Structure 1
Amino acid sequence: MTNAGHRLLWTIIALLMVAGAAAALAASLGALPGVDPTAALLSADLVSRWRMAAPWSTLAAAVAGLLVALAGQRLLARELGGPGGALRGTLSQPGRRSGRTRLAADVLADALVRDLTDNPGVRRARVVLTGTPPHPDLWIRVDLTADAPAAGVREHVRAAVRRFAATADCQPAHLDVTARVEPGPS
């Protein structure tokens, strides 16, 4: 999922929670027509039906709560885990003659980080490979010094990605570069 998709998903979740809270507040203040703020939250008929269905009603509520908690945990783990499906192991390419060339994905990512940090304007870099070869997705984050020239760094990143593609013999299907500028001295 893209960054825009993540923002949209969390915006929808936040709006649903705010709408639910606003409806509950309006009902408790008597601002909703047809709702008595002094009435019980659950009617006597609903409470008696709940008790008649025991223990299945309690079990159903527990299972529903567990499913919602599991869905929330999975969503949170995906959000905090960074780009999903990080490429592990090796990139394997057929050779020009018989045989294969195998390159460790972590070694390739580390080499690209070293190449990116060769520029004096780049303080730190992080690279994540996702997807499948021969067209993996490439996620790059560079932290720039306050005085780094944007055009020079942009060209340096482009050249580093070209060298990466030539070395690994794989053209990235998707390239996502995030640049953060660190604040300069006061």
Structure 2
Amino acid sequence: MFNRVWLALTGLVLLGGGGATLAAGVLWASRPLVTAATSRWVAAHSWFWPAVAGGSLAVAMLGSVWLAAQWRCRTLRRLAMGDARAGATRLAARVAIRAIVADVTSYPGVRRVRPRLSGSARRPAMRVRVMCDADADLGELAWRIRDDAMTRLRTTLGRADLGGVIDFRVKRDDLDGERRVV
């Protein structure tokens, strides 16, 4: 949520700045971009352009760090059983991962399962990457994973809020992976 708010505010500021610049360009098209007084002031102050470059570099670095932080996805090591705010019992996340692997691997047409539990203790999310045969019924597999394996895992953990994404990989050249939200 925090990232979305900052992204929306940044977008609004940039949109407003671009709109104001465009409006100024249309309204004052016959005027010079920089006045003679401004040119003289910039020429008299040798620190101006290095300061502009430093400020631009700082903004670029902050943007790069923020962008790199978006790619980082934290893998959960421990998962709370029940309500995380009520001091719930914690268990190793690999236990939940092994349970979903055991369930999904037993389904027909499934070759390999790679689950990943991410998010936070209060808002966990499961991503299940399923490698399956080319003739597997993806709709049936998605239904079984969502309504059977994930429901069993949610019930076992006491976590009705445990959501996730199923990412199918089919062993065929002309078919890309298909994604379904659980």
Distance in 2 between residues matched to 1:163 and 1:106, nearest whole Å: 16
- The root-mean-square deviation of aligned C-alpha atoms, in Å, is 4.1
Cross-structure match for 1:170: 158
Note if contact 1:144-1:180 (Cα within 8 Å) is conserved in structure 2: yes
Residue 171 of structure 1 and its aligned partner are, at CA, apart by 1.8
> What is the TM-score when the length of structure 1 is the normalising length?
0.56
Note if contact 1:113-1:125 (Cα within 8 Å) is conserved in structure 2: yes
| Residues 43, 177 of structure 1: alpha-carbon distance in 2 compared, 3 angstrom cutoff | same
> What is the TM-score when the length of structure 2 is the normalising length?
0.57
Stretches of structure 2 lacking an aligned partner (at least 5 in a row): 175-182
Distance in 1 between residues matched to 2:61 and 2:161, nearest whole Å: 35
Work out the number of aligned pairs and report it: 154
Note if contact 2:132-2:170 (Cα within 8 Å) is conserved in structure 1: yes
Question: Does 2:70 correspond to 1:70?
Answer: no
Listed one character per residue, the Cα deviations across residues 43-85 of structure 1 (whole Å, up to 9, x for unaligned) are 655443333343255224313322233223322441x33xx45
Cross-structure match for 2:40: 48
Report 1:13-92 matches (<5 A). 45-55=37-47, 57-78=49-70, 80-81=71-72, 84-87=73-76, 89-92=77-80
Question: Does 2:103 correspond to 1:115?
Answer: yes
Whichever residue aligns with residue 67 of structure 1, its letter is V
Stretches of structure 1 lacking an aligned partner (at least 5 in a row): none
